[in-house]
């Protein structure tokens, strides 16, 4: 037990207080010592000092809930409403009670007339809104900061990022250009990216220091010779970067060498195999080559990766109309519809069987459908066909005897109706 702790245990608080301060001076700084100093300062009725010690405790360990509780208690006694609500908000953040934290930070701002403290709290509030994907509220907070003389380049960068997330990229350009015009520095590269996204390659080229964005901008300006010269000069630096491979593919696309463009897309796919851009680039190339089948197949894969299955299935349907015998496309359509529209999927499983009478997946799915509508004769027929092809197939082992039993003793009409809707 240290001397300070001995004095504290003996309730000699003046001496304990001085000893704990000596421990700090000797380099033993910790949130625990600050909490002890805050506690003793409160006992000695040095409440202002107590508040400062608790502030230092939470600054040193922002995850210490006990320190926040102590700070809140002393702030309540000191009628320091700003720090009270700020601390309560930070405590709520630790507990992941974000709505409560937001309300507390708002209250903290309403009880403060210190500009620096208000700006600090607005940053916290904006961050919470952003994490909660309440982007418009976050934008409002950053705009309030931007309207003060306390704004920084980071304020504008965060604003631009939020505008971009909410599909207002033009506003991202405007806010960064405003900041640049007002003398803020370090914005050019981000501003160039947004100019590029808003189809202004000339401004993007003027501002960017990113060699890959320069090459892209040159191509968008029709300066393909300059673009390829730049890309070849930086090959060793970026050859493993997927953006570089995409730009090389774009160059060959722009110059009409579509076969080489496809080869470059293949290189890109090895670096970033799950990127939707692979299929978008292939679709555009096949369109130029007049290959409608592969064009629509690749658009389907693109929309699948983007999560838009309705458009993806529609693209697969177009591909199917072009090549009705393509088993891969039929299987993909059937399996996707099986997830969303089982009745409609039956048409495509039947088409699969027309092409391949021994297709085990189609036989199983059609047997399942026949059971669902109470047609046990056809259900058994499909299972018999599957059993002949693969006697050890799991679906056969699990359902063969049961299917024959239902054929002999079929469920009631009501049972069939209930079964149909339970599996729909």
Q: Judge whether 380 lies within some domain.
A: yes
Integer angstrom CA distances of residue 374 from 169, 328, 342, 371: 55, 30, 15, 5
Length of the chain: 424
Q: Residue 1 pLDDT more than 70?
A: no
Helix axis angle, 81-94 to 98-110, nearest 10°: 170
- Looking at residue 409, what is its pLDDT? 79
* pLDDT one-digit tens code per residue, 333-354: 999 999 999 999 999 999 999 9
Give yes or no for a contact between 50 and 42, defined as CB atoms under 8 angstroms apart: yes
Residue 320 lies in a domain: no
pTM of the model: 0.77
Judge whether residue 161 has pLDDT over 90: yes
Q: What is the mean pLDDT of the chain?
A: 93
What per-residue confidence (pLDDT) applies to 363? 96
Structure token pair of residue 206: 């003027």
**For residue range 387-414, what is the model confidence (pLDDT) as tens digits?**
999 999 999 999 989 988 888 877 654 4
**What is the pLDDT, as a whole number, of residue 130?**
95
Integer Cα distance of 113 and 34 in angstroms: 27
Tokens of 44: 């000695």
Q: Is residue 146 part of a domain?
A: no
Q: Is residue 352 part of a domain?
A: yes
Answer yes or no: is 328 within a domain: no
73 domain residue, yes or no: no
Q: Domain holding 386: CATH number? A: 1.25.40.10
Residues 288-318: tens digit of each pLDDT: 999 999 999 999 999 999 999 999 999 999 9
- Whether residue 412 is contained in a domain is answered as yes
- The stretch 64-89 carries a mean pLDDT of 93
The pLDDT assigned to 420 comes to: 46
Name the residue range of residue 413's domain: 337-424
pLDDT average, residue stretch 6-11: 87
State pLDDT tens for residues 113-149.
999 999 999 999 999 999 999 999 999 999 999 999 9
CA distance between the termini of the chain: 71
| pLDDT reported for residue 268 | 95
Question: How far is it, in rounded angstroms, from Cα 316 to Cα 301?
Answer: 9
CA distances to 8, 36, 79, 117 from 71, in Å:
20, 12, 12, 17
Question: Which pLDDT score is estimated for 415?
Answer: 52
Q: How far apart are CA 269 and CA 71, in angstroms?
A: 55
Domain count, the chain: 1
Backbone CA torsion sign across 36, 42, 45, 48: positive
Residue 149 lies inside a defined structural domain of this protein: no
């Amino acid at each position: 037990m240290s001397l300070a702790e001995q004095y504290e245990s003996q309730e000699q608080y003046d001496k304990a207080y001085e000893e704990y301060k000596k421990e700090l001076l000797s380099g033993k700084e910790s949130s625990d010592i600050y909490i002890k100093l805050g506690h003793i300062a409160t006992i000695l009725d040095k409440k202002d000092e107590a508040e400062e010690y608790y502030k230092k405790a939470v600054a040193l360990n922002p995850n210490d809930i006990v320190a926040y509780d102590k700070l809140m208690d002393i702030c309540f006694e000191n009628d320091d409403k700003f720090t009270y609500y700020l601390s309560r908000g930070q405590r709520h953040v630790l507990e992941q009670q974000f709505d409560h934290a937001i309300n507390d930070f708002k209250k903290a701002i309403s009880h403060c007339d210190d500009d620096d403290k208000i700006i600090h709290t607005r940053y916290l509030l904006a961050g919470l809104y952003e994490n909660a994907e309440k982007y418009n509220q976050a934008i409002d907070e950053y705009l309030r900061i931007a309207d003060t003389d306390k704004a920084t380049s980071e304020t504008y960068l965060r604003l631009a990022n939020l505008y971009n997330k909410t599909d207002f990229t033009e506003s991202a350009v405007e806010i960064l250009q405003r900041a640049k015009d007002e003398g803020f520095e370090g914005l050019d590269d981000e501003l160039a990216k947004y100019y590029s996204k808003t189809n202004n390659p000339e401004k993007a080229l003027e501002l960017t220091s990113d060699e890959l964005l320069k090459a892209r901008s040159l191509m968008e300006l029709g300066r393909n010779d300059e673009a390829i010269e730049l890309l070849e000069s930086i090959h060793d630096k970026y050859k493993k970067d997927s953006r570089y491979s995409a730009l090389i593919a774009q160059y060959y696309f722009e110059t009409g060498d579509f076969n080489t463009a496809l080869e470059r897309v293949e290189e890109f796919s090895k670096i970033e195999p799950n990127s939707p851009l692979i299929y978008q680039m292939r679709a555009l190339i096949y369109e130029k080559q007049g290959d409608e089948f592969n064009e629509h197949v690749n658009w389907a894969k693109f929309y699948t990766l983007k999560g838009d299955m309705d458009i993806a299935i529609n693209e697969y349907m177009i591909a199917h109309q072009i090549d009705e015998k393509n088993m891969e496309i039929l299987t993909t359509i059937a399996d996707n519809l099986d997830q969303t529209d089982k009745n409609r999927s039956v048409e495509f499983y039947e088409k699969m069987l027309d092409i391949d009478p021994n297709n085990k997946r189609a036989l199983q799915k059609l047997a399942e459908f026949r059971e669902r509508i109470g047609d046990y004769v056809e259900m058994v027929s499909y299972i018999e066909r599957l059993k002949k092809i693969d006697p050890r197939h799991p679906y056969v082992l699990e359902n063969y005897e049961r299917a024959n039993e239902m054929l002999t003793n079929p469920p009631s009409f009501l049972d069939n109706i209930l079964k149909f809707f339970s599996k729909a």
